[in-house]
Amino acid sequence: MRRVRSGLGLVRRRRKAIAGAAILLVAVVWGPVVYFNLSTRGVRYDLAKTPINSIPEKRVAIVFGAGVLPGGKPTPYLKWRITTAADLYKAGRVHKLLVTGDNGTKHYNEPVAMRKLAESLGVKPGDIVLDYAGFNTYDSCYRAHAIFGVKGAVLISQGYHLPRAVVTCDHLGVKSVGVDALHSGRDFTVSYIVREWASTDKAVFQLIFKPKPTALGKPEKF
């Protein structure tokens, strides 16, 4: 009988340990995602629901890279971001575009593709600044403040990415609001959401320890 009771006690302790580990895992994975979403809810805008003239006016819009196709054409995600930026620019809600993306090789250049599209949509060349070392969200926000001296901005990306972008830029000296890219339709897939969960958890450690970005350089006038 004692052995049976001892065995049942061991089973209960194991179940409690498993339940505790599961709760901890959920908290670690979901906690930052929930916090980032709730803490930025009041500063994220969807132009499908919000008149463009209601977007807070900022001098700078930061447009994050989202890939280029063979031949240098923007992906649909990137095209939607630049289109939204151009709409805000023409409405007078922003006055300069900082297009930030990956130019890791001479054959892959997001910022140039972004500039060409922005110009074709009516943004003046002199109002577009290129950040060639925006390899990820953290690097883009860090460099926006440290290299280009940006202290406030409208961030333009898809809705799933905006909470992390706004929190990251805020913690790195760029007071931000976010605008969901227009014409995006269903702006996520399962793989994007899973990747965003992992990136959000990673962002917590980046913002605690604040490592240097992949590349820095001398400050540039903006």
Residue 21 has pLDDT above 70, yes or no: no
What pLDDT score does 106 carry? 79
Question: Within a 13 Å sphere around the CA of 51, how many CA atoms are in the beta-carbon half?
Answer: 2
Are 24 and 47 within one domain? no
Are 89 and 199 within one domain? yes
Are 33 and 114 within one domain? no
What pLDDT score does 186 carry? 54
Percent of the residues in the chain that have a pLDDT greater than 90, as a whole number: 64
Residues 145-203: pLDDT tens digits? 999 999 999 999 999 899 999 999 999 999 999 999 976 555 556 666 677 777 787 88
Higher pLDDT, 22 or 196: 196
Higher pLDDT, 20 or 103: 103
Are 70 and 115 within one domain? yes
What pLDDT score does 20 carry? 46
What pLDDT score does 109 carry? 95
Are 103 and 33 within one domain? no
Are 100 and 34 within one domain? no
Over residues 42-59, the mean pLDDT reads 95
- 218: in domain: no
Q: For residue 107, what are its two tokens?
A: 């054959």
How many folded domains does the chain comprise? 2
| CATH at residue 70 | 3.40.50.620
State pTM to two decimals. 0.85
Are 50 and 63 within one domain? yes
Confidence of residue 23 (pLDDT cuts 50, 70, 90): very low
Distance of alpha carbon 141 from alpha carbon 133, whole angstroms: 11
- 127: in domain: yes
Residues with Cβ < 8 Å from 190, sequence gap 6 or more? none
Are 83 and 3 within one domain? no
Are 73 and 183 within one domain? yes
The domain of 22 spans 1-39
Higher pLDDT, 9 or 130: 130
Query: Which strands form 60-64's sheet, in the order they lie side by side?
Result: 44-46, 175-180, 152-157, 60-64, 96-100, 128-131
Q: Report the mean per-residue pLDDT for the chain.
A: 86
What pLDDT score does 25 carry? 47
Q: What is the dihedral of CA 106, 110, 113, 117, to 10 degrees?
A: -170
